[in-house]
A = this chain, B = another copy of it.
Amino acid sequence: MAQRLFFGVDVGGTFTKIALVDEKSRLLAKSKFSSEGFSNKAFFAKTLRANILSILSEHKLALRHLKGIGIGLPGPVDFDKGIVLSLTNIKGWNRFPLSAYLRRYFSVPVFIDNDANCMGLAESRLGAARGTSYALCLTLGTGVGGALILDRQIYRSSYFLSAEVGHIPVVLDGPKCSCGGRGCLERFVGNRALLSAARRVFKKDMSLEEVSCLAAKGDLRALKIWRDAGNIIGLAVSGVLNVFNPEIVVIGGGVAEAGDALFASIRRTVTCHAMEQLKKYVKVKKAALGNDAGVLGAALLAKEQVGIRV
């Protein structure tokens, strides 16, 4: 069986996920392991290798079929040089030439990118934005990440950031943000901001799942939390729409699980603020790949970088 295989790796602060994908972008297997101890780079490389070998052997596949590895990371990376620029969740990886380092362990090309870019790539190829050429992808979670797909390619600037939609300022001189800016979207619709909004409204700690449940039952306070969040997401998204005119906006991440209450509000705000030419066409869709988007995108990155575009 002369197939060509790719591993996608999604390195998170708590867990690292991996997925095996074939040259037709089919997901063959996936697994997940703790990210503990990954400050030690050799330990990370060995753990990754052990997990990759274990999946291959489980599926009776040989290492020689592996043609590339893609890695998504929660921080800025120098994609061209394969260097991790900074990671907040794993210490000691700043300015670390991860691609070159791992290449010695695997003898195949290793590509790294920002995790939001990987998710955007996966949604663009296999998910909600499939078939489009220009897409804006958002991930709503603890942070609010973004990726732009321009002419089917991930947009990368010279500053090694992804399209940081979460750091669009929505309020002049607003609250300070960890990014160095102020009044960023993330400060209003990131997990933490939504949890504290819920706490303020319900006078007790609530999970976002509980807020969504209440909203689904018609609780006006819960609905207002999602409506407010949708308004502010819609406002920021409309600005990107009018500047960059994507065909579709794909929204994923844990917070997107809020579902209709949130999406109806986002859509209403986008319809209100997008230019006439755009509001007729642009779609706002929920991400389709869920938790697999990150690993899948990382694998697709490797696959496409070695020249396979099936």
Asked if residues B281 and A146 are in contact (CB atoms below 8 Å), the reply is: no
A43 interface hit (Cβ, 8 Å)? no
Chain B residue, CB-CB nearest to A282? B159
Q: A180-B275, A232-B172 are in contact. Are A163 and B243 (CB under 8 A)?
A: yes
Bound form: Cα–Cα A238–B165 in Å:
11
In the complex, how many residues of chain A place their beta carbon closer than 8 angstroms to a beta carbon of chain B? 49
Chain B residue, CB-CB nearest to A232? B172
Interface residues of A in 122-145 (CB under 8 A from B): 133-134
* A150: B residues at CB distance < 8 A: 150, 155
Q: A238-B169, A239-B169 are in contact. Are A161 and B245 (CB under 8 A)?
A: yes
Asked if residues A243 and B146 are in contact (CB atoms below 8 Å), the reply is: yes
Give A219-243 as 1s and 0s: 1 = Cβ < 8 Å from B's Cβ atoms. 0000000000001100110111011
Bound form: Cα–Cα A275–B272 in Å:
28
* A251: B residues at CB distance < 8 A: none
Greatest chain B CB density within 10 A among A155, A163, A275 is at A275
The minimal Cβ–Cβ distance linking A227 to chain B, given in whole angstroms, is: 11
A296 interface hit (Cβ, 8 Å)? no
Asked if residues A243 and B164 are in contact (CB atoms below 8 Å), the reply is: yes
The minimal Cβ–Cβ distance linking A167 to chain B, given in whole angstroms, is: 4
A181 interface hit (Cβ, 8 Å)? yes
A247 interface hit (Cβ, 8 Å)? yes
The minimal Cβ–Cβ distance linking A237 to chain B, given in whole angstroms, is: 10
* A272: B residues at CB distance < 8 A: 173, 181-182
Asked if residues B273 and A183 are in contact (CB atoms below 8 Å), the reply is: yes
* A180: B residues at CB distance < 8 A: 274-277, 279
Asked if residues B159 and A277 are in contact (CB atoms below 8 Å), the reply is: yes
Asked if residues A134 and B161 are in contact (CB atoms below 8 Å), the reply is: no
Q: A172-B231, A235-B169, A239-B236 are in contact. Are A246 and B182 (CB under 8 A)?
A: no
Bound form: Cα–Cα A163–B240 in Å:
9
Bound form: Cα–Cα A236–B279 in Å:
20
Asked if residues B269 and A179 are in contact (CB atoms below 8 Å), the reply is: no
A297 interface hit (Cβ, 8 Å)? no
